[in-house]
Amino acid sequence: MSTIRRHRLLLAGAATLASAIALTSCASSGTGASSEDGALSGDILFYDTSGGQVWEELDATLFADFTAATGVTVTDDYNEAATKFFAAAEAGQVPWSLAFLPTVNDAEKAAEEGYLAEIDTSIVPVDQLVEGTYSDYGIEVGTFGMVLTWDDEAYPGEKPSEMADLWDLDTFPGKRCFFNNPQYGWTLEAALLADGVAPDALYPLDVDRALAKLDEIKDDITWWTSGAQSIESFENGSCDIGILWANRAFVAASENGFPASITWNEAGYSNSVWAIPADAPNAAAAQELLANVIENTDGQIAFASKVPTPIPASVVGLEPASFPSDVQQFLPIGDNVTDSIRQDIGYYSENIDAVLDQFNRWVGE
């Protein structure tokens, strides 16, 4: 069993994305050496698998603060997946000093192959992170959440509170929105939870049982195929309740003024990982960057107020109440996620072809 796997604990039964406050330019509270010390120099090339708004806000907040404190700049190198990272690591030609690996599974694999450097805990204060959200080789970041979402005005009385409410057409009438990809939609897990399966017994998925449960509401399902369409489906009245990505629900509420509400109860989540490649060209600066980011509470708040996928994933003592009110319900931290469930990415890695085939055949029937 790898060191990373030994550290992967459920985050108190849970542990993923966006706000509308003006971004402030925050001074770093980290203890990393400054450029005046002469200890750090150069550039950090960042292997980035997120890009878009995530990179823009990182560049404006946490990375800007680090550069102001140390003089070290962070340059983005966007890649859609971890494929290029593994190819370069295998060839022994890694130009990056920090890598944004899409999944914990990717980080585990990289560590097992010897492609990652150990976190230097004499520099990086991992004790300030919630246990289970870091390992010897990386820190978890950017929680991706799949949450029960509804139009708050459609249900002025009782509010949805669990996945089974998607099957309660009497109390919560209207079309149901689901993503047409089971891995990134939490569709099968939601069906099993609604059918009485305990969270710790979800995997391996009983796909037949999940699809049988979905049969009960199949005529009331509206399928969405992209994050943008998921919001549009709510805003144009195609559905009143469903499962959305948490960041998209936030965008609907904060930017579009749609009365979206969510619950993290029984929500699914997964995390990405920041790690330092073995033989990184500027490993010393990367270690200091991790330390700086962990200790920069103001920068974390500024970032997650725009993109509610906190970086790091969970810092001790940082609760939703620390953030502006309009982002609080969308944050996958603290008490919000006590009853959320970590998705088993390893299960999907091994079974995705069979699961997709069975799911797609059912959708087409």
Of residues 180, 163, 184, 189, the one with CA closest to residue 221: 180
Instruction: Mention every residue, 6+ apart, whose C-beta is less than 8 A from residue 60.
Output: 23, 302
Q: Are 153 and 262 in contact (CB under 8 A)?
A: no
| Distance of alpha carbon 205 from the chain centroid | 21
Q: What is the 3-state secondary structure (H, E, C) of 281-326?
A: CCHHHHHHHHHHHHHCHHHHHHHHCCCCCCCCCCECCCCHHHCCCC
The neighbouring-strand residues paired with 20 are none
Give me the tens of pLDDT residue by residue for the chain, a chain 365 residues long.
Answer: 333 333 333 333 333 222 222 222 233 333 333 344 446 889 999 999 999 999 999 999 999 999 999 999 999 999 999 999 999 999 999 999 999 999 999 999 999 999 999 999 999 999 999 999 999 999 999 999 999 999 999 999 999 999 999 999 999 999 999 999 999 999 999 999 999 999 999 999 999 999 999 999 999 999 999 999 999 999 999 999 999 999 999 999 999 999 999 999 999 999 999 999 999 999 999 999 999 999 999 999 999 999 999 999 999 999 999 999 999 999 999 999 999 999 999 999 999 999 999 999 999 99
Q: What backbone phi and psi angles, to 5 degrees, belong to 108?
A: -60, -45
- Per-residue burial over 292-312, b if 16 or more Cβ lie within 10 Å, else e, is bbbbbbbbbbbbbbbbbbbbb
Residue type, 21: I
Q: What is the pLDDT of residue 36?
A: 44
- Per-residue burial over 205-235, b if 16 or more Cβ lie within 10 Å, else e, is bbbeebbebbeebeeebbbbeebebbbebbe
Whole-angstrom distance, CA of residue 320 vs CA of residue 211: 35
Whole-angstrom distance, CA of residue 355 vs CA of residue 365: 16
Domains, the chain, ordered by start: 3-143+271-322 (3.40.190.10), 144-269+343-364 (3.40.190.10)
- Beta pairing class for 138-151 and 260-275: antiparallel
Helix (H, G, I), strand (E, B) or coil at 41: coil
Whole-angstrom distance, CA of residue 347 vs CA of residue 276: 26
Of residues 59, 57, 62, the one with CA closest to residue 29: 62
Whole-angstrom distance, CA of residue 92 vs CA of residue 105: 21
- DSSP-derived secondary structure for 62-121: HHHHHHHHH--EEEEEE-SSSHHHHHHHHHT----SEEEESSHHHHHHHHHTT-BPPP-T
